Amino acid sequence: MAQAPGDNSRWFAGLRDGKIVAFSAASPPASPTIVADLALLSGMPMAYGSEGGLLDFAFHPKFAQNGQLYVSWTTDGGPADLRSVVSRLTSTDNGVTFSQHSTILGPFDQPDGNHNGGGVQFGPDGFLYLSFGDGGGGSDAYKNGQTRSGFFSKILRIDVDSPPPPGATYAIPEGNPFKSGGGEPATFARGFRNPFRFTFDRGSGDLWVGDVGEARWEEINHVQLGGNYGWPCREGATEFFTPQTDPERCSSTMGLVDPIIAIEHSSTSPSRSVTGGLVYRGTSIPGLVGTYVFGDFITQELFGLSFDPTSGSPVTSVLNADGTPAASWVSFAQDAAGELFAIALEGEVYAMVPAGPQPSKIFPDRLSKTGCVDATDAKKPAPGLIPYGVNAQLWSDGASKERWLAVPDGKTISVADDGDFELPVGSVVMKTFSVAGKLVETRLLVRHDDGDWAGYDYEWNDAQTDALLLEANKTKKVGSATWYFPSRADCVRCHTAAARRTLGLELGQLNGDLTYTSTNRIANQLATLDHIGMFDTPLGTPIAQIVAYPNPLGTSPVDGRARAYLHANCSQCHRPGNPTRSDMDLRFFVPLRDTNACATAPKVDDLGVPGAKLLDPGSPGSSVLSLRVHAFGAARMPPLATSVIDAQGTALLDDWIRSLASCP
């Protein structure tokens, strides 16, 4: 999203399907106006699967005079059916429409669907800068990281205003390190894995890049002309390949440039896929001036990077620690006044504004004050809360759990086509964790008046009389294990929008008996909810004909139990509509042949196992699904709030994988 130079009245936004739209900055309409369609203008089809599509655009600094807009995008063709293109669109009516197209760079083949980069920016020197990743596809792409030729793993700098050499579409600026030979002449800097977003600081002119890491580190780079930023010899500031493991590319690591910061993948350092941002140069938030604001596509945090005025050391803070907003950040924008905007994959645009009262200050600081528990005995739920249980448990380091839901009077629950419950505004879901009979934590998931969900975490005191609201994530010893209390951003990271946030509330999970302590009766939960009028439409279908997920630790066939385990522990992220670096769909009811897992090579990390597959029939040792649930640290799945291996769950998955002779 960007504004044309000198025109703060409009925004232009690029959509992945190749359309560019425009809308009023003062009063955005419900339906913005389409001003360009790349497929129609270029005559080439869009390819926007995986990480393709319209990836970025930039207005020429003299747009008011020449009407030029530069776009990085992908079309089909080549071995992986994906090719990168940089185009110039021209408008003769000041951006009301774009009627002319010419190809500036490419198309060139991408070896796989990910790590396409795709950033486009004009620098303060007037030249056009472009970014491309290593081509993706796992280990096959490592070879591109240190290759001097070609466009992969580089920030390019080209001159689109000077007359190009014969047969070329652009000129090479003076000073490019390989202009006279030795590598791709357009190279400005190299050694990147996937520099998805880069920007220039409006105040200093400095070039900042967010480079997506492999399995352990995300990095922010301050990029200089001719710099080599290390991939794949380094991930972050840490060795990845070495002269011993890859002498061809990493025979010498002299001169490699370390990132300004490297953020480790861990339960206490929330980052998985960095999205580079912008240095704030606005006026409405004085304390943020000079701060580099960036995000994380997977964990949904927003970060601020500044520098200690005394030591000059980088300091990183989480800007949305209160949990709102949290989204899969894909880009950032800056208006003419220097104010910042964050853009989410789901199509939402957020303006960054001065902080008002924080939810943590107005949300009850003690569980006993929430109205969700008995005010005289916080260990008991308040009247009106409905208990529920699930057939397949999410592993929580062996803790026992109790669950309740509350729906406002007069409101009902709708059931989606996939069986997930959609709770109305004002609903609350409450879950309490106990270890060895002692209360540890109570989590509330609340659907606020704006329709968004937010999580609030309470830590029980030693006296077991009440629980205190936590402002951020926390770890502490509980028995012999380390217990992790999630932050509010962590809550919506696991309780994904694709899974309608509440996770366990779905037909297949609640189709089972529960003992209702208030009446001491055992009854089927779906029948009970239907009987008391909780659904907006009566179920109609006999309970026996509704899917019921098996207990993973029960005695039913291993296939169903393993799929139920994967559903409960993995499918909240690994399903359509949720951003992950894999396109697996691990929902229970999806046939194995359609999960995109069986005999599929991992796109991101083979965990050091040659020939590994996401699911390798008959072989747990070469199946990433098994390796990750057995792992600790950054490789672990689920990646959050668990530090103890689930012995029974991992054994179940391994037994199932061994039982598979082949893929369907």
Residues 399-419 pLDDT 10s: 999 999 999 999 999 999 999
pLDDT above 70 for 357: no
Asked if residue 603 and residue 579 are part of one domain, the reply reads yes
Residues 6+ apart with CB under 8 A from 266: 633, 634
Confidence band for 253, pLDDT divided at 50, 70 and 90: low
Q: What is the mean pLDDT of residues 307-324?
A: 82
Question: Which region among 100-104, 147-151, 385-389, 606-610 has the lowest average model confidence (pLDDT)?
Answer: 606-610
Q: What is the mean pLDDT of residues 451-478?
A: 90
**What does the pLDDT look like over 612-646, one tens digit per residue?**
999 999 999 999 999 999 987 666 777 777 888 89
Asked if residue 473 and residue 541 are part of one domain, the reply reads yes
pLDDT the model gives residue 267: 53
Does residue 538 lie within any of the structural domains?
A: yes
| Separation CA 23–CA 475 (nearest Å) | 46
The angle formed by the CA atoms of residues 211, 321 and 628, to the nearest 5 degrees, is: 55
281 near 202, Cβ under 8 Å?
yes
Percent of the residues in the chain that have a pLDDT greater than 90, as a whole number: 70
Confidence band for 67, pLDDT divided at 50, 70 and 90: very high
Secondary structure of residue 457 in the 3-state scheme: strand
Range of the domain at 566: 558-659
**What does the pLDDT look like over 127-176, one tens digit per residue?**
999 999 999 875 555 779 999 999 999 999 999 999 999 999 999 999 99
pLDDT the model gives residue 140: 59
pLDDT the model gives residue 272: 81
* CB-CB neighbours of 456 under 10 Å: 24
- The last residue of one of the domains, among 481, 513, 545, is 545
Does residue 280 lie within any of the structural domains?
A: no
Start-to-end Cα distance in the chain? 44
Distances in whole angstroms, Cα of residue 562 to Cα of each of 202, 649, 661 = 53, 8, 16
Q: What is the mean pLDDT of residues 371-390?
A: 94
Question: Which region among 82-86, 122-126, 129-133, 234-238 has the lowest average model confidence (pLDDT)?
Answer: 234-238
pLDDT the model gives residue 585: 94
Distances in whole angstroms, Cα of residue 20 to Cα of each of 2, 35, 40, 363, 503 = 11, 6, 12, 41, 35
Asked if residue 511 and residue 432 are part of one domain, the reply reads yes
Secondary structure of residue 331 in the 3-state scheme: strand
Total tally of structural domains belonging to the chain: 2
- 314-318: strand order across its sheet: 274-279, 292-296, 302-307, 314-318
Q: What is the mean pLDDT of residues 383-402?
A: 94
Question: Which region among 39-48, 95-104, 268-277, 623-632 has the lowest average model confidence (pLDDT)?
Answer: 268-277
Of 305, 446, 427, the C-alpha closest to 363 is 446
pLDDT the model gives residue 434: 96
Q: Two tokens at 2?
A: 């960007």
pLDDT above 80 for 43: yes
Asked if residue 450 and residue 592 are part of one domain, the reply reads no
626 near 612, Cβ under 8 Å?
no
Q: What is the mean pLDDT of residues 248-269?
A: 80
Pairing between strand 120-122 and 400-406? unpaired
pLDDT above 60 for 515: yes
Asked if residue 525 and residue 381 are part of one domain, the reply reads yes
pLDDT the model gives residue 250: 86
Secondary structure of residue 569 in the 3-state scheme: helix
Secondary structure of residue 391 in the 3-state scheme: coil
- The last residue of one of the domains, among 516, 545, 574, is 545
Asked if residue 509 and residue 642 are part of one domain, the reply reads no
Residues 6+ apart with CB under 8 A from 442: 367, 430, 431, 432, 433, 457, 458, 460, 467
Confidence band for 220, pLDDT divided at 50, 70 and 90: very high
Does residue 352 lie within any of the structural domains?
A: no
pLDDT above 60 for 41: yes
| Separation CA 509–CA 557 (nearest Å) | 17
pLDDT above 60 for 125: yes
Asked if residue 417 and residue 521 are part of one domain, the reply reads yes
Asked if residue 567 and residue 540 are part of one domain, the reply reads no
Does residue 155 lie within any of the structural domains?
A: no
Does residue 567 lie within any of the structural domains?
A: yes
pLDDT the model gives residue 608: 78
pLDDT the model gives residue 604: 66
Where is pLDDT greater, at 598 or 139? 598
- The last residue of one of the domains, among 545, 574, 607, is 545
pLDDT the model gives residue 577: 80
| Separation CA 390–CA 396 (nearest Å) | 14
Asked if residue 577 and residue 470 are part of one domain, the reply reads no
| Separation CA 188–CA 154 (nearest Å) | 7
- For residue 393, the Cα-to-chain-centroid distance in whole angstroms is 24
Asked if residue 451 and residue 512 are part of one domain, the reply reads yes
Percent of the residues in the chain that have a pLDDT greater than 70, as a whole number: 95
Does residue 473 lie within any of the structural domains?
A: yes
Of 136, 139, 138, 132, the C-alpha closest to 153 is 132
pLDDT the model gives residue 64: 96
pTM for the model stands at: 0.71
pLDDT the model gives residue 268: 53
pLDDT the model gives residue 583: 83
Does residue 428 lie within any of the structural domains?
A: yes
Does residue 402 lie within any of the structural domains?
A: yes
- For residue 244, the Cα-to-chain-centroid distance in whole angstroms is 34
Asked if residue 611 and residue 479 are part of one domain, the reply reads no
pLDDT the model gives residue 80: 83
Asked if residue 483 and residue 425 are part of one domain, the reply reads yes
Secondary structure of residue 141 in the 3-state scheme: helix
Confidence band for 25, pLDDT divided at 50, 70 and 90: very high
Secondary structure of residue 64 in the 3-state scheme: helix
Backbone dihedral angles phi then psi of residue 470, each to the nearest 5 degrees: -95, 140
Cα dihedral sign for 138, 142, 145, 149?
A: negative
Question: Tokens 């037909």 — which residue?
Answer: 507
